[in-house]
Amino acid sequence: MSVLEKLRRILPELSTREARAARHLMSNYPMAGLTTVAEFAKQSEVSTATVLRLVKRLGFPVYSEFQNALRSHIEETLQSPLMRLGERQTRDSQTSDTFFARTCARMAGHFQTLPEVLPEEEFNRAAKLLSDRKRDVHLLGGRYSSNIAHYMGDLLTAVRGRVQVISGQTQSWPQHILDMGRSSILVVFDVRRYQEDVVAFTHAAAKRGATVILLTDIWQSPAARSASVVLPFQVDAPSIFDVLTVGLGVAEGLVGAVASMADEHGQKRIEALETARAQLTEGYGTSRGEEQ
């Protein structure tokens, strides 16, 4: 579990001053924790003793171990496929298992341990928010994760209205901000080697009052600072590339949960959609026949 995830989990149990230091770290993660104890305390407007108590609550006996964990976070999040290539080649030479077998085992393990990584109450919170028809839903992803955003948006549209996927050139994104407010939900996908444009858009939407649901890796995108709900998942694999398989599963699970909460209006929407599809298919077949 990352330091950021630990912070989120223990936040309700912290004293007022400890929570102040924790929120400062969460808002400036991980750089705030890489300063000296005195500087961290000054920026958080608490005492050095408060900072050290927070660090111990996080499971680090001394401040240096806490900082080592933050440095490890930076190293892991900045890894590129090229950096992993040499490491994976060395590991591959040390095992007789096939690549396919290792991939299957890793994915199975990720799904099996998902409840330990992603709290069920957070998943349920996200599903409940998305099931609220009074809210408009917007979805945004990065270079690759945008494919999941589009897919999830398509599925959600079958269950509820007012769903929009943000796509196209980054320069066109600001116009979507204008339609966001306190009744809006922004679903964001952002995994390591996080995209600055996605993070910046998330912060801007949150400032407009939008409720942010973030699907990210276990190291967590900086967009987490503006998120109301964070749904982390594993992305590592035998491949030199991170995989979005588990993230796709979480997205599909959310849509399934929303569908299970569908009221009469939602059910009628699904029925109407199936009817429209059938009519369109019949019309397509007729028009082809007439042309012939």
Band the pLDDT of 90: cuts 50, 70, 90. Answer: low
Q: What are φ and ψ of residue 135, in 5° steps?
A: -100, 145
| pLDDT attached to residue 292 | 47
Q: Is 68 helix (H, G, I), strand (E, B) or coil?
A: helix
The pair of three-digit structure tokens given for residue 181, joined into one six-digit string: 């407010």
pLDDT digits (tens, 9 = 90+) for 184-193: 999 999 998 8
Q: Is the pTM of this model over 0.85?
A: no
What is the bridge-based pairing of β-strands 184-190 and 163-165? Answer: unpaired
Q: Where are the beta strands (DSSP E) in 158-207?
A: 163-165, 184-190
CA torsion, ordered 225, 227, 229, 233, to nearest 10 deg: -70
| pLDDT attached to residue 72 | 82
Statement: residue 54 has pLDDT above 90: yes
Beta-carbon-side half-sphere exposure of residue 191 (alpha carbons within 13 Å) = 24
Statement: residue 226 has pLDDT above 60: yes
pLDDT digits (tens, 9 = 90+) for 246-275: 999 999 999 999 999 988 888 889 899 889
| pLDDT attached to residue 87 | 58
Counting DSSP H helices and E strands in the chain, the numbers are 14, 5
| pLDDT attached to residue 233 | 93
Q: Which residues contact 283 (CB under 8 A, 6 or more apart)?
A: none
pLDDT digits (tens, 9 = 90+) for 106-143: 999 999 999 988 989 999 999 999 999 999 999 999 99
| pLDDT attached to residue 277 | 86
How many degrees, rounded to 5, is the angle at CA 10 between CA 9 and CA 11? 95
pLDDT digits (tens, 9 = 90+) for 66-81: 999 888 877 776 666 5
Distances (CA, A) of 52 to 6, 32, 72: 15, 14, 20
